[in-house]
Amino acid sequence: MIKKISQIKQGLHGTVSIPSDKSISHRAVMFSSLAKGKSTIKNFSKGQDPRSTLNIFKQLGIQPEFADEKTLIINNPGKLTAPEKELDCGNSGTTMRLVCGILAGQNFNSTLIGDTSLSKRPMKRIIEPIELMGGKIDSTEGHAPLKINGTELHAIDYKSKLASAQVKSSILLAGLNTTGVTSVTEPYISRNHTELMLKYMGANIKVEKNTVSIQKSELQPKTIEICGDISSAAYFIVAGLIVPDSDIILKNVGLNPTRTGIIDVVKMMGGDIEILNEEIKSGELTGDIRIKTSELHSCEILGEIIPRLIDELPVIALLATQARGETVIKDAADLRNKECDRINATVTELRKLGANIEELNDGFIICGKTTLKGGALVETYHDHRLAMSLYVAGLICQNEISINGFEWAGISFPEFEELFASLM
Ligand code: S3P
């Protein structure tokens, strides 16, 4: 689908409630499916990725029921059962990597498959540690399909080279069903939703600096209220800063510090951003965010902040085109292993719109402030974050742009366009 976007002349104004967090929605379904009894998940995501996770657990014997559009009841018989066919993770890396950790230690075999993009993404990062635990996974040179021969696992202490929440969570979920203490150490702290939710559900889990340890535990069913996704809010944050004469409020945004790198970047750039009404919901910090159009300057983005904003980098690159000076983004090589090579895709597509942006092996150099001329057809590479970043770019381009494959936004954020329209 080709979507045409034109410049906004009167600014963005009003309030939007940010829809459910994708990462937390995945975990709510997975962990409730491991907790015997009735769990209630409030504000479950409508994105396609969390729906892939839900469909997989149905095939594993769980009986979820929607009490209303966004409230999911999970009645769990107490154990997973062998699936009758392959388990389709769709486009979702979180589904494949975390579910693999859960299934490796079960007493049945299973196969995880994915779409074209997911089948190209690296899975060695989870296969290696799970094999060190005694797991048996056949793959095609580290790629899906993953054929899992369920077997009893043993605990390990794993030092990960990557700061990846998917790797960390996969190992912790394998450890949850394994005798002994399993620990994972990562170079920088990645998003910690797994740790918070497992703790909330009664797991024996401990965090010490960059190391998380877990022991075999019975999870308790709970009511989990999912906050809004800061990765979805990111498009509104950037639009609010760069579309002239804007003043917007985003309600119910997850503010877990392992996810708020974008807020730190906006502050470093001198942006007008305010956090309001902070509270804790189901173990996660949430609040509202007010953003006004701002004069921005460049900054350096590297090191420990990278895992705290990894999914926001395409839209942060756009933001940097509107900041005076040279913004350097480094230490983000793993961005090439996301739903597409997001370094190359971001550079190629923003250049078509007139951005001054250079590709580094592990990031970008962006010189601003640049007037984006637009007037081009841009590609999404079947990647939801590219689709949404380019939509925001279109709001400030001098000439209308056309986005090919805009429908991919639905992977994480089907409400995206409707919510933007409500601010225009
Ligand atoms: C996710 C972790 C991140 C992120 C992805 C979701 C998660 O991946 O990019 O969109 O839910 O755990 P890595 O942890 O592999 O960097």
Q: Which residues have a catalytic role annotated?
A: 311
Q: How confident is the model at residue 282 (pLDDT cuts 50, 70, 90)?
A: confident
Q: Residue-wise over 195-222: b if at least 16 C-beta within 10 A, else e?
A: bbbbebbebebeeeebebbbbbbebebb
Task: Tell me how far the alpha carbon of residue 324 lies from the centroid of ligand 1, in angstroms.
Answer: 30
- pTM for the whole structure: 0.97
The per-residue pLDDT for 1 is 87
The tokens of 423 are what? Answer: 């601010």
Instruction: Give the residue, out of 21, 164, 230, 339, with the most ligand 1 atoms within 8 A of its beta carbon, to mutate for a pocket test.
Output: 164
Task: Tell me how far the alpha carbon of residue 130 lies from the centroid of ligand 1, in angstroms.
Answer: 18
CA–CA separation, 349 and 342 (whole Å): 10
User: Which domains can be identified in the chain, with CATH numbers?
Assistant: 2-20+227-421 (3.65.10.10), 22-225 (3.65.10.10)
Please give the average per-residue pLDDT across 295-312, as a whole number: 98
Q: How confident is the model at residue 217 (pLDDT cuts 50, 70, 90)?
A: very high
- Is the distance from CB of 314 to CB of 389 less than 8 angstroms? yes
Atom of ligand 1 nearest to the CA of 231: 10
* pLDDT tens profile 363-382: 999 999 999 999 999 999 99
The per-residue pLDDT for 78 is 83
Q: How many alpha carbons fall within 13 Å on the CB side of residue 96?
A: 32
The residue nearest atom 9 of ligand 1, judged by CA position, is 311
* pLDDT tens profile 13-43: 999 999 999 999 999 999 999 999 999 999 9
* pLDDT tens profile 167-187: 999 999 999 999 999 999 999
- Considering all CA atoms of the chain, what is the largest pairwise distance in Å, rounded to the nearest integer? 61
Instruction: Give the residue, out of 22, 23, 226, with the most ligand 1 atoms within 8 A of its beta carbon, to mutate for a pocket test.
Output: 23
Task: Tell me how far the alpha carbon of residue 246 lies from the centroid of ligand 1, in angstroms.
Answer: 31
Pairing of strands 13-17, 323-329: unpaired
CA–CA separation, 27 and 22 (whole Å): 9
pLDDT of residue 414 exceeding 90, the answer is: yes
The tokens of 234 are what? Answer: 């990111």
List strands edge to edge, sheet with 2-5. 2-5, 401-404, 377-379
